[in-house]
Amino acid sequence: MLEPVNRPVPVGRTDGQARSAYFNRELSWLAFNRRVLEQARSPRHPLLERVRFLAIVSGNLDEFFEIRVAGLIQQVADDVAPSGGVDNIGAREQLRRIHSVVASLVEDQYRCWSEQLRPALAAEGITFAEAGSLTASEFAWVRTYFEEQIFPVLTPLAIDQSHPFPQLGNKTLNLVVSLDDPGTPQIDRHFAILPVPRVLPRIVGIDSPDADRLGRRFIFLSDIVKLCAAEFFPGYRIHGVHAFRVTRNSDLYIDEEEAENLLKKIEEELRNLRRGAAVRLEIEDGVDDQIFATLCDHLNLSHEYVFRLEGPVNLLRLMALADIDRPDLKYAPFQPVNASPLREPALVFDTLRERDVLLHHPYDSFQPVVDFVEQAARDPKVLAIKQTLYRTSGDSPFVRALIEASRNGKQVTALVELKARFDEANNIQWARQLEEAGVHVVYGLVGHKTHCKVALVVRRETDGKLRRYAHLGTGNYNPRTAKIYTDLSHFTARDDLTADAAALFNALTGFGRAPDFARLLVAPYTLHRRVLELIRRETAHAAAGRPARIMAKMNSLVDQAVIDALYAASRAGVQVDLIIRGVCCLVPGVPGLSENIRVRSIVGRFLEHIRAYYFHNDGASPDILAGSADWMPRNFFRRIEVVFPLLDPALRRWVTEDLFAIELRDNEGARVLTSGGGYLPVERAADEPSFSAQSYFLAAAVQRANLAQ
């Protein structure tokens, strides 16, 4: 459940009877991470998948501290006014509440590992050895491994007057050693740090003669270093060795107006990230008080940002364990189905001239998206390709296709978003490769991230006329994440949609200040205003006694104007169903304010990433939309986003009768947000069967594959 510290905060009256209320964004995000932790604790998932969920919790917390907590700490340090969040809670108070929630979350996470997952793994023959439990042959193997693989690459760093405190990299594994010289007992203890290079695996499989008898045995790298730490300090007596890890502010601070060369400026900032201010210290419990004080002092970190852990530091490293070869402890394999009308790459343009196509990833294969760009690169009739790249994969087929297209003499333009958080280095690499191949690389509008997912192809048809084809998506051009994120891909050759896509690219690559769009809703130009108009139209229908309904699926809902419009719609009688995976600042179910609004979150095998919206419009012609934008200020005003209408009748029916209808039936992976801030399981009758939307879509995909054979 969402921690009770995230109570709705009333902010001003919306009318004479009800007050607007909002949940805090940061605490709502932590509630999402607790729902991820629920998956690690749930026996409905296979054991190694539960381990993977536990690791994801740690990875999520890393990013939360690097960006969100770091920003709040900076606000406190700079003594700035509240950041203007919908709840208007000051940064200092937010940090206090965050600490309380995170402390509880981390405690439960480590309890899950020690009391549930580790014993369950042991029951399956997968155990973790500690120094005191090693057999003689295991001890010999570990010593040899240390001498051959670890000792040569570790460098001890003393801490004294002649050795300043070292610069410790962001999220790197380190061990602090307390020791003394038996020959000089009058001198206080010495301290040293052993930084562990990232190249070393954090979990080591023990390959000893006892393996056949003991089963799969692993040991944490930090435990090996602890066991053999004396080898680095001959003649000294070791008193204690404790692993720790520092998280640093990892946000980029770039003034684009002053950055003459944005690419070089971002490269420079990336090099500086490892020197960012410390925002969290994780350290094994039991560390000496003097060592603890020394670390906090040198890191300039107050104690509320320190977490003493009863277990291994950084459970994200358990992700490697989830990859071991035990198919019986994982989800049944699933191969995305390529049974769409676009399954023949050579016919992709012929097909799109006849009909629109909508794919539901990862159930539908992402390959047609790749084929669309690759076919365009090779088709001699294609004259130009324009594509946005926000996040893509290593060895990206899209980058290769754009390079091939340029070498084939086509006009190729790529809008590469350099500031895609934590993917900046990858995107710089792609940008340089594309430029070297002659692709026109553009970095979008100053002050705005290019977050939309659009690919546009211009082709000369047999009759000599030019025709445009477009792919519009809710997810990134990344074949790897397309296997684990739920997203929509829309392909069309409609003149109105493709003309809008062309106008978008012209605005992003040229000097268009206020482009005119006939069909697409584009941020920061038209999206926010149109969303409010659609909500208010439903409000007017309800006020006039006509049927009114809003359904929306997204990652986050934060924008106050949209929330207030939804509150007004609820008071007018509009029935509102929201499926929000992560942050939700709207408070549902409050009499006189939001009693007609229901909010649910689905967390499961796949990461729910679709943004789709339904506005009933009295049933005459519902607006059914999808796109790249959550309902957050950053998406409305600080990013380039594209939301597109679905116009084909069959595709519209699928979104209404399958996507929304099925996800609103989910009573297994779904949790319902209460007005008090908790997320509770969906209530169901005693004889009502369990139903999972993701399982339903998996089964439907398999059925489509069988029918296509």
Q: Which residues are catalytic?
A: 451
For the record, the structure tokens of 122 come out as 């042991």
**Residue 200: partners with Cβ closer than 8 Å, 6 or more residues away:** 149, 150, 153, 221
Round to whole Å and give the CA distance between 423 and 72: 23
Round to whole Å and give the CA distance between 81 and 513: 32
Assess contact for 33 and 105: CB atoms under 8 A.
Answer: yes
Assess contact for 558 and 632: CB atoms under 8 A.
Answer: yes
| 3-state secondary structure at position 218 | strand
Round to whole Å and give the CA distance between 76 and 38: 32
- From residue 150, give the alpha-carbon distance in Å to each of 133, 200, 224, 232, 244: 21, 8, 9, 11, 18
Assess contact for 51 and 40: CB atoms under 8 A.
Answer: yes
Nearest partner of 596 among 616, 573, 618, judged by Cα: 573
Q: Which residue has the tokens 């760093």?
A: 157
Alpha helix locations (H) across 609-656?
A: 633-637, 649-654
Q: How many distinct helices (H) and strands (E) make up the chain?
A: 21, 29
Question: 232-271 in b/e burial notation, b at 16+ Cβ within 10 A?
Answer: bbeebeeebbbbbbbbbbbeeeeeeeeeeeebebbeebee
How many residues comprise the chain?
Answer: 709
Q: Diameter of the chain by CA atoms?
A: 95
Nearest partner of 576 among 619, 530, 615, judged by Cα: 615
- From residue 37, give the alpha-carbon distance in Å to each of 110, 111, 251, 312, 672: 10, 11, 26, 17, 16
Assess contact for 90 and 84: CB atoms under 8 A.
Answer: no
Nearest partner of 506 among 468, 563, 463, judged by Cα: 468
Round to whole Å and give the CA distance between 567 and 585: 12
Q: Which residue has the tokens 């009295």?
A: 618
Can you spell out the DSSP letters for 327-393?
A: GGGSPPP-PPB--STT-SGGGHHHHHHH--EEEEETTB-SHHHHHHHHHHHH-TTEEEEEEEESS--
Round to whole Å and give the CA distance between 231 and 175: 14
Q: How are beta strands 306-309 and 278-284 bridged, if at all?
A: parallel
CA 600 to chain centre: 19
- From residue 156, give the alpha-carbon distance in Å to each of 104, 197, 220, 244, 626: 34, 12, 19, 15, 54
Assess contact for 63 and 76: CB atoms under 8 A.
Answer: no
| 3-state secondary structure at position 203 | strand
Assess contact for 599 and 588: CB atoms under 8 A.
Answer: yes
H or E element that contains 178: strand 173-180
DSSP 66: I
Cis-peptide, bond into residue 185, ω within 30° of zero: no
